[in-house]
């Protein structure tokens, strides 16, 4: 590859996608009802993630979310410059976090992209005596290059090893499945409800880069 003169190149960026879904209120209300029904017949929806793929259901909320997830994947591929046909399947599962529930740092092996759609997020108030840096209900993503921040200085692109957000109901986040993330504890008596998903590619040889 020839060099451009006087140019700064972004090498190995990590793509992170977020979208606030339009007219989310009614389908999200239906999905909350569906997740609560499913919760009655599962030991735990998050740990039983292999057998509660609610996006396989023919349900008005699930049909809406499946369409939104598919559109987000199309947007993502366009934004990174993938301009050829890609086939995928969605594996989704629901999460209900009650007081004290959290999900320690992890990634999603054997998936291409991962994401979460947020249905309900409690607004916790900090109580006196607790650490001021608690971020209940937030999600943190970590720079996939551990230690890259150790010599960084203010405003260079490596200074913050984490990206932390408090999602709103109606937000859909999506990221490369290798990215480690941590779901902070819910410190509210209200439930925090979301639907997570993996995008699993159906393999074709034309995905391979030309040599
Ligand atoms: Fe996750």
CA 181 to ligand 1 centroid distance, Å: 6
CA 81 to ligand 1 centroid distance, Å: 25
The whole-number pLDDT of residue 1 equals 78
Which residue has better confidence, 4 or 147?
147
- Average pLDDT of the chain is 94
Q: Give whole-number Cα distances, 155 to 13, 45, 128, 133, in Å.
A: 17, 41, 33, 22
Q: Is the pTM of this model over 0.85?
A: yes
CA 159 to ligand 1 centroid distance, Å: 24
pLDDT exceeds 80 at position 116: yes
What confidence tier does 123 reach under pLDDT thresholds 50, 70, 90?
confident
What confidence tier does 129 reach under pLDDT thresholds 50, 70, 90?
confident
CA 191/CA 112 separation, integer angstroms? 29
Strands laid side by side in the 103-106 sheet: 103-106, 181-183, 139-142, 162-165
Ordered by where they begin, the domains of the chain are 17-123+134-202 (2.60.120.620)
The whole-number pLDDT of residue 38 equals 92
Question: Residue 200 forms beta bridges with which residues?
Answer: 89
CA 6 to ligand 1 centroid distance, Å: 40
Which residue has better confidence, 13 or 125?
13
Express as a percent the part of the chain with pLDDT over 90. Answer: 83
């Amino acid at each position: 590859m020839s060099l451009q003169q006087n140019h700064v190149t972004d090498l190995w960026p990590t793509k992170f996608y977020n979208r606030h879904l339009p007219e989310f209120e009614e389908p999200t209300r239906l999905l909350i009802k569906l997740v609560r029904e499913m919760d009655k017949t599962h030991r735990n929806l998050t740990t039983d993630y292999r057998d509660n793929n609610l996006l396989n259901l023919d349900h008005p909320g699930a049909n809406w979310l499946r369409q939104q997830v598919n559109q987000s994947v199309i947007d993502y591929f366009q934004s990174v410059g993938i301009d050829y046909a890609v086939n995928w399947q969605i594996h989704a599962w629901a999460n209900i976090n009650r007081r004290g529930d959290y999900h320690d740092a992890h990634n999603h092996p054997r998936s291409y992209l991962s994401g979460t759609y947020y249905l309900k997020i409690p607004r916790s108030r900090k109580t006196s005596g607790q650490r001021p840096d608690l971020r209940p209900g937030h999600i943190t993503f970590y720079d996939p290059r551990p230690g890259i921040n150790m010599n960084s200085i203010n405003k260079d692109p490596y200074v913050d090893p984490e990206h932390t957000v408090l999602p709103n109901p109606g937000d859909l986040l999506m990221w490369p499945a290798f990215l480690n993330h941590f779901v902070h504890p819910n410190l509210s008596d209200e439930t925090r409800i979301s639907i997570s998903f993996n995008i699993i590619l159906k393999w074709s040889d034309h995905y391979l880069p030309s040599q």
